[in-house]
Amino acid sequence: MDASIIVTYRCPMRCKMCNIWDNPTKVSEEFKPELLEKLPKVDTVNITGGEPFVREDIEDIVKILFTKTKRIVFSTSGYYSDRIIQLARKYPQLGFRISIEGLSCKNDELRGRPGGFDKGLKTLLELRRMGSDTRASMPRAGLQVKPYTPKTSSRRTSTMRSSGYHTSTPISCGTFPMP
């Protein structure tokens, strides 16, 4: 059995396809991590929200959940890069799914947060560099970010790949390099 736990309805994004940010929870109304001690053992837990990393006590949640499961995966925008990387260093077995809604300009337009694409991609690339179980998808653009090994090299790198386009650096609005 798997579980998905919504830890907050707060989020720094202002997504056009989601109004969760328009009705955020108050910190005082969010559950205390100790509540999770009541959960049964499960195969996998997905921690989601809102944006899970707005919670200051996210590590307390992880500590308790690791007594209930061996596998925890976060669904995140990647916006809080420092918090995410710090937690990944402490718990290398964590998984991360970073939501990106297209390339830079489209992502930032849909997510309502300038710089959101660059933060998400920076987080994704650092997690991949660290060897974390990390994936990203771009459902509205039909792209996937995944490991890619060029035929001329044996070194694995994190790249963004679509129809032959590859990059390992963030792309800013207006500076989209052509393949």
Q: With bands split at pLDDT 50, 70 and 90, how would you rate the model's confidence at 102?
A: confident
Question: pLDDT, tens digit, for every residue of 51-93?
Answer: 999 999 999 999 999 999 999 999 999 999 999 999 999 999 9
Structure tokens belonging to residue 64 = 């308790």
Radius of gyration for the chain, computed over Cα atoms and rounded to the nearest angstrom:
17
pLDDT of 158 > 90? The answer is no
Structure tokens belonging to residue 146 = 């995944």
Rounded Cα–Cα distance for residues 58 and 149 (Å): 34
Rounded Cα–Cα distance for residues 121 and 26 (Å): 29
Residue 101: per-residue pLDDT: 83
The reported pTM is 0.78
Question: CB count, 10 Å around CB of 153?
Answer: 8
Structure tokens belonging to residue 57 = 């006590």
pLDDT of 137 > 80? The answer is no
Residue 140: per-residue pLDDT: 56
Rounded Cα–Cα distance for residues 98 and 127 (Å): 10
Residue 151: per-residue pLDDT: 45
